[in-house]
Structure 1
Amino acid sequence: MLIRLAVRELLRSWRFGLFFIFNLSLGLTGFVSLQAFNTALEKEITANAKSILSADLAVSARRELTDEEVQKMRGVYPRGTEESKVYEFFAMINSAKGSRLVLVKAIDSAYPFYGELELESGNVIKNDTEKSIMQSETTWIYPELKSQLGLDTGDEITLGNLKLKITDLVKKDATQTFRAANLAPRIFINRELLPKSGLLQFGSTFTLAYLLKLPVPTDELVLRESMYQALSDPAVNVDTPSSAGEDSGRQLGYLSDYLGLVSIVALFMSALGAAYIYRLFLSTRMKEIAILRTLGLQSWQAVSVYILQASLLGLIATIPTLILSHLILPVLSGLLSSFTPFDLQPHVNVEAMLVCLFMAIFGSFIVSLPFLVKIFDLRANKLFSEEKFAVGEGTRRYWTFLPSLILFYFLSVYQAHSWKTGSAFVGAMIAVIVLLLIIGYATVKLAGMLKHFRRWFLKFSFLSLSRRAGASLAIFVALGLGALLINILPQLKNSLQAEFQFEGRGKVPSLFMFDIQDEQLPGVQQVLDKDQVQALGLSPLVRARILKVNGQDYERKIEEQGFKTREEEREARFRNRGVNLSYRHDLSASEYIVEGRPFSGNFNPDTQTKAELSVEVRFADRMGFHVGDTLVFDVQGVEVEGQIINLRKVKWTSFQPNFFILVQNGVLNEAPKTWIAAIPFLPEEKRAQLQNEIAATFSNVSVIDVVRAVDDVLKTAEKMSWSLELMAALALITGYIVLFSIVRSQIKLRRWELNMLKILGASGGEVASFILVEFAFLSFLSALTGALLSIVVSFSLNTFIFEGDFKLSWAQPLISVLIITALSLLISFLASLDIVKESALGILREEK
């Protein structure tokens, strides 16, 4: 009976049902589309995981493994295991057409065990393929070098002491992961040529990987655990295809996380609209519910009817959601395709459909819950009084809003893959909504005071806003949130671009050099002096690993399988690697102390037993370090003990030589080290000349063209911002649906009032003006508030998260306010069109 009653009432109120379904489905679309995209990406990574790793298991480190470690590794893996040894490092290539930083992949004849390289000549390089670069001093290069330097097959390049002939271009590399803002294109060479090249000297930056092909059957995870037990140094990493796949997807994962948070805002606004529409619907049904109560229907039965209705509407909403998701997915995957080596073709699969069903059915129930419980307060005796029924009457049960808040919170954490980011997002959203409610409430009250107008429809418009505060606030919050979201990204982008404007800003480097050997430092300085270039920063780099923290052995953090927050991923990565130490007398201009005291001066072995340490504040937070903690380092076999005396904040976008850990001057000065240097802004021609000169004179010194790298970052940011703006636009469109739904519902409730105005002599134009003035005032102020709040939020994000200089641009917010207001007027006009055109005679006949 209850199901029949629920369905019959929905059929009778089909317009309400359509509004509810469309509003909810639009909010679900972004959420489901991202879920489908992420699922497709994860499946593609899983399917290509062995190709990405090129092995069943990889043992890697940023140093050479000792003979003892190699023997331990070989003692763990089973008999029949095949082994490949690969090096990867940055280096400079030189040619008649210029120099360029490249990422050198030095391989052997066994590489790759899985995956393949597709060359431009048509050759496909696999594990058992004969490789031409193994037979002679030749190389394969990425096609970027063709576009950047004009290099092509047959040209010759110099790599260290090697003269290499280009024999082919790599058309497709299945072992490459994401290429969002790579510092350098790859080249492939024979590993046996490395000693002759002279590139890998003491202190050189490189990654060594032993790639293993295991006999079948072998449990990779069990072997990984055994390998970690045998190789105790946290700097030695052991990867399986699944862990390598997770790592390769991490870069795109961060973008997906934030896209997901924006989609949750769209879902929130959709829920706001759905809740308001449902409230209006229930308000029209209270009298009928009271009649049913007198006929014997219990309160819980009445509530069950409307729970069934909400769930049924949610179920039906999945149909347009899936249709809209199919339309959005190609656009979303097209925007993100440049970040993946795969041709992703995401579709709404079973998992995404289940998420959609859960959110639609359960979500519809919880957003309706605060109004459904009002049925328990309904008294049938009100049928015999002249009082009107209202949903807002009865006991206020604030707990009914708690399920919505909990769901919103856990969805945010799930989408952000971070308790910290998710909690901050929810906190920020609550703060923004509270501000919008406060400002909206003040706006509504202000509207009630604006009475001194000659034209009656102006006066009545503002009074109407004040009388219908609930509907007005819902519109204000929805449009304010949409305006805020649509303006944050352009503001951040403007600040990012301003941060990297090099002209006239000598404090930002144009070149960055590293791997300078101790004995090469005077020679590099001579080259700079000859070219009249003063280095912005010259810092020593000492490689070390942490042995103990506060007397406890510093243990490796092993990443578990399954869901992990971004904080857990970062902590594992930071713990499972060596550290680079440096020293200097004073802090640079790009860093300042946030806790603790400065260095007391040079280290004095007569009075000090521990060196003083300065640690970057975010690194300390990830590692759990605090002021006063004692750390013991292994520096080339020598133990160095130090105590943290301060935490400092570093502005990484300055591109100055900065480090996570600084050691007091006088402790590491005699330790084996290399040097890094930053070169100030130079014109393009002089920059290229200096880069070529360094590459020709010091073949092992790597030079990063910061200007080109920043251009790549900005292009990547541009692509990412389009993806984010797509979701922000979806959120704003959802806000417009909320606006349309509320305006339409309000017009319907005020139909008698509006037609009575016509009977009293108001023209159709005056009635339309009455409606448009009301919503123009509300939409303009809500859009303006959202735009102004976006400036505050953008400033906070840029200052405290990205630690950059904020550049305010008024053009974008003001233009968006005008556009949002104009669109709001259009939507309000369309929503009220049939009422405005309706003959007043019709309503008089209905009243008879």
Structure 2
Amino acid sequence: MAWRDSKASGSRLLLFMASIILGIAAVVSIQSFSENLEENIAIQSKILMGADFVIDSNKPLNEKVLAIIDSLGGADGRSVGFGSMAIFPKTGDTKLVGVRGMEGAYPFYGEMETEPVTAAQTYQESGGALVDATLMLQYGLQQGDSVKLGNTVFPIAGSLISAPGTSGVGALVAPPVIIPYDAVEGTGLIQVGSRIGYDYYFVAEPEQDLVELDEVVDPQLDVENADLDTHISTAEQLGRSYDNFGKFLNLIAFIALLLGCVGVASSVHIYVKEKLRSVAVLKCIGATRRQTFLIYLLQIAGMGLLGGILGVLCGLLLQQSFPLLLEGFLPFEVQISLVPNALWSGLILGVLLSVLFALMPLLNTWFVSPLQVLRVEENGYQKSRKAQLWVLLGIVLFIFSFSFWLLGSARYALYFVLGILVVFALLGGVATLFMRGIKKYFPTSWGFTARQSLLNLYRPNNQTTVLVLAIGVGTFLISTLYFTKDILLAQVSLEASEDTPNLILLDVQSDEKLAAANSIEASGLPVLNNIPIITMRMHQIKERPVRELILDSTVTMNRWVLFHEFRVTYRDSLVPSERTVEGTWPLERQGNGIIPISISDNVADGAQVKIGDTIVFNVQGVLMETKVAHLREVDWARMQVNFSILFPSGVLEEAPQFHVLTTKAPDAIKSAELQRDLVRKFPTVSIIDLRQILTVIEDILGKIAWVINFMAFFSILTGIIVLIGSVRTSKYQRIKENVLLRTLGAKGKQILRITTLEYLYLGLLGGGIGIVLSLLGSLLLARFVFEVSFVPSSVPFLVVLPGIMVLVLLIGLLNSKSVLQSPPLEVLRKEGV
């Protein structure tokens, strides 16, 4: 019976299957790509690192660390890395670059891709430099030109296309330049305060257990402020980073699937409603409740299985596009392969979600009475509230279980489910209130077409709720993306005030401070800040030495605080990015007593200290006992120089220090002129142009937005299919209504206007509610999560909302074309049959 009935009605259910196909395709493609990405990271982890493991430190290695390296058979290669200003004599331009001095045959896995190819092997012997390929294009450089780093001019041996460790956001801000290791000292760039990274690369023996090596050696290195990373641990860390983004995309795909399921429920509701008389007839001739219920349940399950199969196939095709979508984020090429788990999950999802969301309307077949054959009124049967509650509970539990499987956290899964329920409930609630409001306060004075279009929103078999849900959720996703992007950009944007710097001079030595300040002022620009910086580490927290805390596995302090080399300044006032949490500032040191300090709240939490606790700092070999006297909240997102720890004036003035100077250039031309002048006079000084960093951040956010928009498109596309399905499913009902209107004297143009207004209302209602909800959600994010003021983007209002309205109108009219053109005799013949 299920097969026979589906052959007659299958075409009407194909569109609901299409919405399932899209959702399954989105989920399967992302799951498959995430699995492939994880496998590729594991396989290519050695190539990403260029070695089996590396020992690194941000200061020259001491005797104990060197002894550990010797015990491991000695390093096979080493490098020293730091940021510096580069001058290109050919053009006179300057640029902040990431310098790496290399020694040995590194990389030992993969290759350093250069142009010409031989430059990767010859640059060390020739004493040349490999310059980032994009940088060479940007400044019109060629092989044979030169680059000046500090006090040394290097011939450019070739362009660097790719190499292990040269990708990521850091490479966008400071493009890589590789030089021979022995040439680094001659540049004079390693000075007090310079941020230097020392890396020692190793090739493991075939039988060496890297996991055990990490467990045994890494704790020994931690005590000496060094670290060991294996290609396995690095791959796991990289995998986690991409896994979080994959989970986010998975949730967007899952929302698209849920939208499809709403379309399933709506289509099945109308489909079953038209079958109730047939069900009543079947029960009159002896069919049981179970038999009639299973006839339609089997139909839906079969459609779900077929939709799952087609969705899996579409997902596999869609997966091929992901390497292109994420090209700017991945440091390697992903090899695509089949993932059985994703395929099976797609099939199971297709069946389970189809059945679950169809159960509510299918319950009508269970409770319909045989007497319904003789009844004329609608809904002449009683539903079981208990059965409905069980179905709803099953749907919520399934969504929670699937979310938990995606996120791996019960708390986050619960938040996601609650968020979905709130958005769906608000959209559905507004749609219901809108229909009731129209019915109660109907504008009887309006014209015929306007009144009739409003009547269509709450007529029998209307699709107002499901279409508002489909349109609203898609609009909600896209609008929230734009608003959130604005919030993130607002956090890092440069303020327009005169005292907000956009150029920062780093590593200015004490004997250069006055001359550098004079050069800035001579160019007509102000010196906004002259900040002294002293480097130090925590030696003792409260009464326990840091070395003891590092070795104690029961300590719950955040370990970064124990290993971190703090850059500290001294001043007697707070800056706009700081807010007092507890205590008062400044405090004066009493004689030679304990030094009062101010620390940021995140350091206080990490070190588990509070007001009155003592911390002993190692200031380049000198121990200083301090007391926490003031706690600050620091807005680290603001583009200015912020500090975790403040000392009062009169304590650190004689300590070895370097300086940071800041100024504000009115435009890019003045900024470039000043940078060229300063780098010529002070070749060891690094200059950060905050506007360039902001451009990089905007570019990254733009790429992320494009990827998320691509996934949100599935929600919109699913909403379109739900819209088409809803119009198609109720097509015959609409034909009958139009025949009645024509019989009463309505003209074709009037019916067209009625339909046009109806879909404009639906587009405006669904899109408008979606944008309003996203506006409220983004406002809450800005207020309670990011803690910034929120100025919404105009794109959702000026582009997204009109676009959604036009799209809904076009889809509605195209699918209503046959309804508008159907002659009355066609309906009368069907009624006669």
| TM-score normalised by structure 1 residue count | 0.86
Distance 1:404 1:216, change over 3 A: same
Which region of structure 1 is more displaced relative to structure 2, 628-637 or 831-840?
628-637
Partner amino acid for 1:11? K
- What is the aligned-residue RMSD (CA, Å)? 3.8
Partner of 1:99: 94
Partner of 2:677: 693
Deviation readout 1:75-104 (Å, 9 max, x if unpaired): 4x4xx5753222221111223222211111
Partner of 1:658: 642
* Conserved? CA contact 1:511–1:705, under 8 Å: yes
Offset at residue 108 of structure 1 (A): 0.7
1:591 aligns with 2:575: no
Which region of structure 1 is more displaced relative to structure 2, 113-122 or 673-682?
673-682
What secondary structure sits across from 2:223 in the alignment?
A: coil
Offset at residue 375 of structure 1 (A): 5.8
Q: 770, 778, 781: which is aligned to 2:762?
A: 778
CA distance in 1, matches of 2:304, 2:702: 36
CA distance in 1, matches of 2:35, 2:650: 53
What secondary structure sits across from 2:327 in the alignment?
A: helix
Distance 1:392 1:499, change over 3 A: farther
CA distance in 2, matches of 1:391, 1:231: 76
Deviation readout 1:731-764 (Å, 9 max, x if unpaired): 1121122222223323334443433333333334
CA distance in 2, matches of 1:35, 1:230: 39
What secondary structure sits across from 1:45 in the alignment?
A: helix
* Conserved? CA contact 1:736–1:824, under 8 Å: yes
Distance 1:845 1:110, change over 3 A: closer
Partner of 1:445: 436
**Sequence identity percentage:** 24
* Conserved? CA contact 2:78–2:104, under 8 Å: no
Partner of 1:138: 128
* Conserved? CA contact 2:85–2:95, under 8 Å: yes
CA distance in 2, matches of 1:765, 1:104: 72
* Conserved? CA contact 2:759–2:809, under 8 Å: yes
Partner amino acid for 1:173? A
CA distance in 2, matches of 1:542, 1:172: 36
Deviation readout 1:678-712 (Å, 9 max, x if unpaired): 32233323212222233233333211222222222
Partner of 2:598: 613
Partner of 2:686: 702
Q: 684, 697, 701: which is aligned to 1:717?
A: 701
Partner amino acid for 2:582? R
Deviation readout 1:661-684 (Å, 9 max, x if unpaired): 445656655554433333223332
CA distance in 1, matches of 2:398, 2:588: 55
CA distance in 2, matches of 1:405, 1:247: 33
Partner of 1:238: 228
Partner of 1:536: 528
Distance 1:441 1:220, change over 3 A: same
Deviation readout 1:232-285 (Å, 9 max, x if unpaired): 439533222133234446665555444334333322222221222233333344
Partner amino acid for 2:745? G
Offset at residue 358 of structure 1 (A): 3.1
Distance 1:374 1:318, change over 3 A: same
Distance 1:610 1:197, change over 3 A: same
Distance 1:369 1:662, change over 3 A: farther
How many residue pairs get aligned? The number is 821
What secondary structure sits across from 1:34 in the alignment?
A: helix
Offset at residue 580 of structure 1 (A): 3.9
1:11 aligns with 2:37: no
Partner amino acid for 1:185? P
Which region of structure 1 is more displaced relative to structure 2, 642-651 or 722-731?
642-651
Offset at residue 7 of structure 1 (A): 3.8
1:820 aligns with 2:804: yes
Deviation readout 1:564-614 (Å, 9 max, x if unpaired): xxxx9x988788754444443222123334xx3253323425697574433
1:512 aligns with 2:508: no
Distance 1:394 1:183, change over 3 A: same
What secondary structure sits across from 1:700 in the alignment?
A: coil
Q: 97, 101, 111: which is aligned to 2:106?
A: 111
Partner amino acid for 1:444? M
Partner amino acid for 1:51? I
Partner amino acid for 1:36? S
Partner of 2:665: 681
Partner of 2:477: 485
Partner of 1:791: 775
CA distance in 1, matches of 2:9, 2:76: 70
Distance 1:201 1:556, change over 3 A: farther
Which region of structure 1 is more displaced relative to structure 2, 358-367 or 184-193?
358-367
1:435 aligns with 2:422: no
Offset at residue 205 of structure 1 (A): 0.4
CA distance in 2, matches of 1:485, 1:88: 42
What secondary structure sits across from 1:342 in the alignment?
A: coil
* Conserved? CA contact 2:107–2:164, under 8 Å: no
Q: 16, 23, 30: which is aligned to 1:20?
A: 16
Deviation readout 1:776-829 (Å, 9 max, x if unpaired): 222222222323333344444456555555444436513332222222122112
Partner of 1:283: 273
Partner amino acid for 1:54? G
Partner amino acid for 2:690? V
Matches within 5 A, 1:376-525: 377=367, 388-389=378-379, 393-396=383-386, 397-409=388-400, 411=402, 426-448=417-439, 449-453=441-445, 455-467=447-459, 471-492=463-484, 505-525=497-517
Distance 1:539 1:431, change over 3 A: farther
Distance 1:394 1:692, change over 3 A: same
Partner of 2:585: 600
What secondary structure sits across from 2:730 in the alignment?
A: helix
Offset at residue 25 of structure 1 (A): 1.1
Offset at residue 408 of structure 1 (A): 3.7
Matches within 5 A, 1:248-263: 248=238, 255-263=245-253
CA distance in 1, matches of 2:574, 2:461: 56
Which region of structure 1 is more displaced relative to structure 2, 90-99 or 462-471?
462-471
* Conserved? CA contact 1:335–1:723, under 8 Å: yes
Partner of 2:301: 311
Partner of 1:128: none
* Conserved? CA contact 2:272–2:365, under 8 Å: no
Which region of structure 1 is more displaced relative to structure 2, 143-152 or 207-216?
143-152
What secondary structure sits across from 1:339 in the alignment?
A: coil
Deviation readout 1:103-146 (Å, 9 max, x if unpaired): 11111123222121122112274xxxxx4333343211112231
Deviation readout 1:608-644 (Å, 9 max, x if unpaired): 7574433255x777x4958559574643453655448
Partner amino acid for 2:34? N
Distance 1:557 1:100, change over 3 A: farther
CA distance in 2, matches of 1:666, 1:399: 72
Which region of structure 1 is more displaced relative to structure 2, 395-404 or 713-722?
395-404
Distance 1:578 1:393, change over 3 A: farther
1:767 aligns with 2:751: yes
What secondary structure sits across from 1:70 in the alignment?
A: helix
Offset at residue 57 of structure 1 (A): 1.2
Partner amino acid for 1:592? R
CA distance in 2, matches of 1:370, 1:631: 64
CA distance in 2, matches of 1:354, 1:556: 46
Offset at residue 650 of structure 1 (A): 0.2
What secondary structure sits across from 1:600 in the alignment?
A: coil
1:337 aligns with 2:327: yes
Partner of 1:49: 45
CA distance in 1, matches of 2:775, 2:552: 40
What secondary structure sits across from 1:189 in the alignment?
A: strand
CA distance in 1, matches of 2:17, 2:30: 20
1:166 aligns with 2:156: yes
CA distance in 1, matches of 2:764, 2:562: 51
Distance 1:247 1:509, change over 3 A: farther
